[in-house]
Amino acid sequence: MIVLGIETSCDETGIALYDTDRGLLGQALHSQIAMHERYGGVVPELASRDHIQRVLPLTRQVLDEAGLTLAQVDAIGFTEGPGLAGALLVGASVANAIAFALDKPTIGIHHLEGHLLSPLLSADPPPFPFVALLVSGGHTQLMRVDGVGRYALLGDTLDDAAGEAFDKSAKLLGLGYPGGPAIARLAAAGRPDAIALPRPMLRSGDLDFSFSGLKTAVSTRVRAGLDGEQDRADLAWALQAAIVDVLVAKSRAALEQTGLTRLVVAGGVSANQRLREALTGARPAIRVYFPEPALCTDNGAMIAFAAALRLQAAREAGQPLPPAPDVFGVRPRWPLEQLAAV
């Protein structure tokens, strides 16, 4: 079964083809970062308009490169939520229009499920069950994952997400968008422990997070006056260290609480090198899995893959593929735990 995946939830148009027999057949991505950069963040209306211009040319490109036609696609997966309503509607409209015209089924995919399952696309995929640390621009969650759609929330952020702390602090430091990679680059020149920042909720005794205080601490330090590039780099180092320390401590606590020995880290912040090093060091009994570097941030491959897994499971359970759609919608807010197991 060949599945076309369409991701348009935020500032990346991602298109991919996944074959349940042969794996990933191809993918293409257009990032809107250059367009949003001058505004210091994503402008939703601009995002939607750009997705409109990109979805079909990228789809054509991926099909051409794979030597396939739309008629050979068996089903279409699209990101139904969570995300920006207008941006989601572009992907949903195109997916459902193509499907209706060609009489193929569609399946709406939860963006975070895409992230969560993306490490399964690597050469050495993690077996279920595992603990997942989901760290994206809008979410910071620890989940227990027992299978596709079998997700139990262990911990969540009470305010800002880790990616948001990177992005907002980068803005305070006058760095570009997205903030995570910019902070990481600046931190490379920072001196360890030259500036002290808090580790919010480190000892809260639960698996929840809070990062808005960290952003406030960065803001206070910036307002107190930074003396040159070294000070800025020291602050970037301190911020990255504080975020990484909290993420590592809570992930380890989640492993202890569940008794599981596999940790999957996914979402944009999983690209952070320091987080990777800190999570993989020193605990031989724990195995940590990351998505391939190109699949850490938003992409179409994870959506095509999640759609293929769900459709294949339905088929194996003897359920026919759903009919071509005549109605569709999007879910800008959509809790992951509401998903049905397969």
**Cα dihedral 116, 117, 121, 125 sign:** positive
Q: At what angle do helices 179-187 and 162-172 cross, to 10 degrees?
A: 70
Which member of 7, 12, 234, 298 binds Zn ion (CB under 5 A)? 298
Should residue 167 be labelled a site residue for Zn ion when binding is judged by CB under 5 A? no
Give the 3-state secondary structure of 236-301. Answer: HHHHHHHHHHHHHHHHHHHHHHHCCCEEEEECHHHHCHHHHHHHHCCCCCCEEECCCHHHCCCCCH
Q: Is cis: bond before 129, omega within 30 of 0?
A: yes
| Pairing label, strands 140-147, 150-156 | antiparallel
Our CB check for ligand KG4 shows the closer of 63 and 197 to be 197
Q: Which residues contact 225 (CB under 8 A, 6 or more apart)?
A: none
Name the residue type at position 57. P
Distance CA 139, CA 323 (A): 33
Choosing among Zn ion, ligand KG4, none, which partner's interface includes residue 178 (Cβ < 5 to 8 Å by kind)?
A: ligand KG4
Which residues, 6+ apart, have CB-to-CB distance to 202 below 8 Å? 245, 246, 249
Among 26, 126, 180, 200, binds ligand KG4 (CB under 6 A): 180
Partner whose binding site includes residue 163, from ligand KG4, Zn ion, none (CB under 5 to 8 Å by kind): ligand KG4
Among ligand KG4, Zn ion, none, residue 291 binds (CB under 5-8 Å by kind): none
Q: Is 136 in the site for Zn ion (CB under 5 A)?
A: yes
Binding status of residue 184 toward ligand KG4 by CB under 6 A: yes
Interface positions, 311-340, toward ligand KG4 (CB under 6 A) = none
User: CB 118 → Zn ion: shortest distance, Å?
Assistant: 10
**Please, which residue, 77 or 190, has the CB nearer to Zn ion?**
77
Of 19-27, 42-50, 269-277, 286-294, the window that binds ligand KG4 (rule: CB under 6 A) is 269-277
Q: Is 141 in the site for ligand KG4 (CB under 6 A)?
A: no
Site string for ligand KG4, 119-138 (x = CB under 6 A): -----------------xxx
167 is a site residue for ligand KG4 (CB under 6 A)? yes
Q: Which is nearer to ligand KG4, 166 or 290 (CB)?
A: 166
Task: Please report, for residues 92, 95, 247, 296, 341, the alpha-carbon distance to residue 88 in angstroms, rounded to integers and kept in the order given.
Answer: 6, 11, 29, 20, 23
Among 181, 200, 291, 325, binds ligand KG4 (CB under 6 A): 181
Secondary structure of the chain: what % helix, strand, coil (to 5)? Answer: 45, 20, 35
**From Zn ion, ligand KG4, none, which one binds at residue 184 (CB under 5 to 8 Å depending on kind)?**
ligand KG4
* 299 sits near Zn ion (criterion: CB under 5 A): no
Count helices and strands (H / E) in the chain. 10, 10
Report d(CA 295, CA 266) in Å as an integer: 9
* Smallest distance from ligand KG4 to CB 110, Å: 11
Contact set with Zn ion (CB under 5 A): 136, 298
Contact set with ligand KG4 (CB under 6 A): 10, 136-138, 163, 166-167, 178-181, 184, 267-269, 271-272, 297-298
